[in-house]
Structure 1
Amino acid sequence: MKKIIPFLVLSIIAVLCFIFPNGNILDIKDTKIDTGDTAWLLVSTALVLLMTPGLAFFYGGMVRKKNVISTMLQSFVSMGIVTIIWVVVGFSLAFGNDIGGIIGDPRTFFMMKDTLGLASWSLMPTVPLILFAMFQLKFAVITPALITGAFAERIKFNAYLLFITLFVIFIYAPLAHSTWHPQGILFNYGVLDFAGGTVVHMSAGWAALAAALFFKKRNSADHTPARISYVILGTGLLWFGWFGFNAGSAGGANVLAATALATTTTASAAAAITWIFFDILRGKKPTAVGACIGAVVGLVAITPAAGFVTITSSLIIGFVAAIVSNLVVIWRSKTNIDDTLDVFPCHGVGGMVGMLLTGVFASQNVNPANTTGNGLFYGETKLFVVHLVALVGVSLFAFVGSFLLLKITDLIIPLRVSAEDELAGLDVSQHDEEL
C-alpha cells in the first residue's frame, strides 16, 4: 500500500496538469502594471527562494554528521511539494475569494486559473497576479521547512511529506488568508504583519514546540555540529534572501521597500552583536554559531515590523529579541523539551517579540497604510492591544492545530524512526546516502 500511494499522487497530478494545462489568461485593459515594481518583485521572489537552501545549510551544519543530508533534504523537498500544493489549491486557500474571514475558496485560482496576463492582486496592483502568487509561494515553502529543526534526527521522511502537506493546507493557508487577505479576520481586526512574523515564524515556532513535545527526546541528545562552516554559509544566504522577504513585501520598487531593507539589516546586525555580548556577559566564549543564531533571530523579529518602524526602533527590536530568545534557549536546555535546533526559542519567540514590538514602535509616519494606529511608544494603545489579543489566538491555533496534525499523520504513517534507524543516522536509514 505504501508503494501505491506515491504512484496515485503522481497520477492525480498528471491528470490535473492535462485538464488544466495553462490556466486562463485575463486581458484587462485598465491595467496598472509597473515595470519597475514587477522587476523588483521578480528579484525578491528569487531572493526568498534562496532562503530555503540557506536554511538547509543553516540546519544541516548544526546536526550530527550522520543526519546532515536528511536534514538538508527536508528543506529542499519543501520547494517541490509545497509548490505543487500551492499551484493546485494552496494559493486559492490563502488568497482566494473569502469564506468567513478564515480561508479562501479553493475554486478561485484552482490550478492557477485566472492568474495569467494582466490580472493583479488588489493590494499589489502594479505587479502581475501570477508574480504575486509565486512570491507568496516562497513564503509557504520556507514555513514548514523551518519546523524541521525541532524534530531533526528522528523523523521518517515519508511521514514528514504528509505532515507538511497537511500543515500548509490547514495551518499556513488559513493564517495567510486571515492576516493578508483584505477580508481576513486578523486583517480587519487591525493586525500588522508586514512580511510574516505571525504567518510564517509564529506558526512554524508553535508547530516546532508541538513537534518537540510529540516526538519526545532523542535517544542521544548530545552531539557536535557537523559543519559550522555550513551554519555560517546558511546564515549569509538567509540574510541575503531576507531582503526579498521583507523589502519585497512592500510590493514594488518604492520608498517603503527601501525602509524595509534598512530596518531588516539593522535589526539583524543588532541581534547578532547582542547575542555575542550576552554570551560573554554570561561567562561564555563568543561563538560563530551564536553570532549566526543571533542574526537570524533579529531577522525573524523585524519581519512583522519591517515596513512600519524607524531605524532606531529596528535596532531596539533586534536587541530585545536576541536577549529574550537567548534566555528562552537557556530555559529550554534545562527542560525535557528536545527542540533539536531551538526552533521555538528562535523563530516562535522571535516572531512573538517582533509582533508585540510592532505594537510598540509602529509609526504611521513610516507607513500611512497603517490604519490601526501608532504603537504604544507614541502614546496609543489600540495597536498593542490588538497584537496582544491576536498573539494569543494565533498561538493557540498554531500549537493545537499542529499537534492534532502530528497525531493524524502518526496514525497514517508512524512519524518517528526506530531506535536502530536513529542510531544509524537518517542519512543511511532513510536515504541510503552518506556525507
Structure 2
Amino acid sequence: MHPVLAANADLAWLLAAFVFVSLMFPGLALYYGGMMGSRNVLNVMMMVMATLGITSVLYVLYGYGLVSGPSVHGWGLIGNPVHYIGLGDFQKDDGSGGPQGAFYAAWFILFAAITIAIVASGTAGRMKFTSWVIFAAIWLTLVYFPVAHWVFAADSDGHKGGFLLNDLKIHDFAGGTAVHMNSGVAALAVALVIGRRRGRAERPHNLPLVLLGGGILWFGWFGFNGSCAGGANFVAQYVILNSLLAGSAGMIGFLVVERIKTGHVTTLGLITGAVAGLVGITPSANAVSPLGALAVGVLAGGVVCAAMGLKNLLRVDDTLDAFVVHGLGGIVGTLCIVVFASSSAPAGVKGILFGGDISILWRELAGIVITCVFSFVVTWLIATALDKTIGLRVDAETERTGLDSVIHAESAYEIHAPGVGHAGPGTLHPKAASRALDAVEAHGVESVTTTS
C-alpha cells in the first residue's frame, strides 16, 4: 500500500477509536449512576462528565508537556510543562496524511479524564461537587501526569522519557498502571480521608442502567485498547480479539466465584466481571495468546469477586469498589504478563510459564509497587489538605436528603403525589421525596456491597 494511503488508513482507524473511547464517559456515568441510590444519580454522573472539561483545560495549558514532553533534567520523572504549552506546535499539518500531534493530544486527554472519572466513584454520594472539581485538577497535576509520563513517554529524538518505560522497562500496553491501578488506589485513599457514608449502603437503584452503561464501556474499550496499537494494523486486530475474550471470561470467573460465595449469580456480578476482565487485559493485551487472554479474564473476574468484601474488612467506604475492580484488577492483569506472556504474541514478551527470564517478575512488581505507593500517598496528602481547608464532605442533612436535589436542584426521577409538598403541583418537596425514597429503598433491604 502507498505510504500516504497507509497513513490515511491509520488515521481513519484512530479517529474511529477516539469516538469509541469518548462514549466511555456517558457509559461510565450510566454504569455508576445505576449503582447509586436514586437520590445521587445525577451527582455521580456530573462528577464523571465534568472530568472531560477539567482535563481538557489542563492539557492545553501544561498537561501535555508534563506527560509527553522531554523529561526534566533527564531524570525520567516528569515532562517539561512548557514544551507543548498551548499546543501551538499542533496547529499545522505536516502533510503526512496520518495521525499527528493534534490527535495524540486529544487521545491523551480522554485517557487522563477516564482515569480521574474512576476516582470519583470512591466518594460518590458524600463529596461536595466544588471540592471534587478542585481535587480533580490537583490530582491530575500531581498524580496522573507524573505517572503517565513514567509509563507512556518513550525516549525519542534525544529526549529522555519516563523511567518506568525506558529504564525499568515494564510492560504495560494500555494503562494497567497509569490508568487502573492509579485510579483504584487513589479512590481508596480519598475514601479513607472523607470517611464512611452515614447510615447503611444503598442498593443499586437501576440494574438495567448498570448493564447498559457497562455495555457501552465494553464498546469503548475496543477503542481504548485498539487505539494503543498506533494504527490500522495487525496489533489492533489482535488486542481487540483479546479484549473480547478477556471481558467474556471475566464474566465467567466472577459468576463462578459469586455462585460459590452466595449461591446466586447476578446481573450486577455479570457486568462487573466483564469490566474486571477488561481491566485485566488492558496491560497485557498484546503480550498474551488468546488462551492467555481467557486466563487473564477468568483470574481477574474471580479475584475481583473474591475481594468484594475487602473494603468492609479495611473499614474504608470505597463506594463503588474502584480499588477492587480497577486497582486489584490492574494488578492481576499485570502479574498475568509475568506468567502468561507468550513470545508468539505481538509484544514478543516471554513469561515465566514459557521459559522467560525471572527478571520480568521483579520489573513488573516494581512497577506495581511504585505506582500504587506514589498514588496512595500523594492522593492522601491532597485529600487531607483539601479536607482541612475547603472541606470535602457535604453536611449530614445534605447527605440524607440527597446531593441531586440539594446541590444540583434536580432529580433524576419525578415522583408524582398530587397535593403533597410545596415544590409545585404534583411534585414532592425534596425532603418529603427523600423520605419516600428512603422508605422504598430500605423496604426489606439489608446493607449490601455494590460494585464498580
TM-score normalised per structure 2: 0.85
Checking the alignment, whether the CA contact within 8 Å between 2:62 and 2:85 is kept in structure 1 is yes
The code of the aligned residue for 1:81 comes to: I
Distance in 2 separating the partners of 1:276 and 1:374: 30
CA change 1:394–1:129 in 2 (3 A) is same
- Describe how 1:70-219 pairs up with structure 2 within 5 A: 70-99=43-72, 100-118=75-93, 126-182=98-154, 183-188=161-166, 189-219=168-198
Output the aligned Cα RMSD: 1.8
Tell me how far apart the structure 1 counterparts of residues 203 and 60 of structure 2 sit (CA, whole Å). 40
Rounded Cα–Cα distance in structure 2 between residues aligned with 1:159 and 1:32: 48
- 2:348 corresponds to 1:375: no
Q: 1:357 aligns with which of 336, 343, 356?
A: 336
Number of corresponding residues: 400
Number of the residue aligned with 2:380? 403
Please say if residues 294 and 322 of structure 1, whose CA atoms lie closer than 8 Å, have aligned partners that are also in contact: yes
Residue 433 of structure 2 corresponds to none
Q: What does 1:275-290 align with in structure 2 at a 5 Å threshold? A: 275-290=254-269
Q: Which amino acid aligns with 1:167?
A: W
Matched, 1:426 2:399: no
Name the larger-Rg structure. Answer: 2
Q: Note the C-alpha offset of 1:221.
A: 2.7
State whether residues 68 and 226 of structure 1, in contact with CA within 8 Å, keep that contact through their aligned partners in structure 2.
no
After TM superposition, list the pairs within 5 Å mapping 1:258-337 onto structure 2: 258-337=237-316
Q: Quick check: 1:212–1:337 contact (8 Å CA) kept in 2?
A: yes
Q: 1:105 to 1:33 in 2, by over 3 A?
A: farther
Task: In structure 1, give the amino acid aligned to 2:60.
Answer: V
Quote the Cα distance in structure 2 between the aligned partners of 1:364 and 1:190. 16
Contact 2:177 2:367 in 1 (8 A): no
Distance 2:68 2:43 in 1: 32
Deviation, structure 1 residue 335: 4.1
Q: Cα–Cα, structure 1 residues 146 and 407, in superposed 2: closer, same or farther, change >3 Å?
A: same
Give the CA deviation at 1:273: 1.7
Q: Which amino acid in structure 1 is aligned with residue 385 of structure 2?
A: I
1:269–1:318: 8 Å Cα contact kept in structure 2?
Answer: yes
Q: In the TM superposition, what whole-angstrom CA distance separates every residue of 1:297-319 from its partner, at most 9, and x where no partner exists?
A: 01101000111211110100011
Does structure 2 retain, via aligned residues, the 8 Å contact 1:31–1:118? no
Specify whether residues 173 and 153 from structure 1 end up closer, same or farther in structure 2 by C-alpha distance, changes over 3 A only: same
Query: Given residue 150 of structure 1, which amino acid in structure 2 is its aligned partner?
Result: G
The AA in structure 1 aligned to 2:165 is F
- Note if contact 1:203-1:395 (Cα within 8 Å) is conserved in structure 2: yes
Distance 1:103 1:43 in 2: 30
1:33·1:128 contact (CA, 8 Å) conserved in 2? no
Structure 1 unmatched ranges of 5 or more = 1-29
Match of 1:221, SS? coil
Tell me the distance in 2 between the aligned counterparts of 1:38 and 1:362: 29
Task: Name the SS for the 1:106 alignment partner.
Answer: coil
The match for 1:389 is 366
Shift of 1:33: 7.8
- Please state how far the C-alpha of 1:367 moved relative to its aligned partner: 2.1
Shift of 1:120: 10
Counterpart of 2:241 in structure 1: which amino acid?
A
- Alpha-carbon distance in 1 for matches of 2:183, 2:43: 19
Q: Could you say if the C-alpha distance between residues 171 and 335 of structure 1 is closer, same or farther in structure 2, counting changes exceeding 3 Å?
A: closer
3-state SS of 2:307 partner: helix
Name the TM-score, length of structure 1 as normaliser: 0.89
Whole-Å separation in 1 of the counterparts to 2:4 and 2:26? 35
Question: Counterpart of 2:40 in 1: which secondary structure?
Answer: helix
C-alpha change, 1:433 and 1:93, in structure 2 (3 Å) is: same
Shift in Å, 1:352: 0.7
Query: What SS does the corresponding residue of 2:99 show, helix, strand or coil?
Result: strand
Distance 1:32 1:211 in 2: 48
Structure 2 residue aligned with 1:14: none
* Contact 1:181 1:187 survives alignment (8 Å): yes
Q: Deviations over 1:191-236 (max 9, x none)?
A: 1111111110000011011012111211023212121111011101
Contact kept, 8 Å, 1:117 with 1:128, in 2: the verdict is no
User: How much does 1:52 deviate?
Assistant: 1.3
In structure 1, how many angstroms separate the alpha carbons of the residues matched to 2:125 and 2:131?
14
Deviations 1:274-303 (A, max 9, x none): 211221122432111110110100110100
Structure 1 distance, partners of 2:178, 2:278, is: 15
* CA distance in 1: counterparts of 2:165 and 2:94, whole angstroms: 23
Number of the residue aligned with 1:40: 13
1:389 and 1:283 map into 2 onto residues whose CA distance is 36
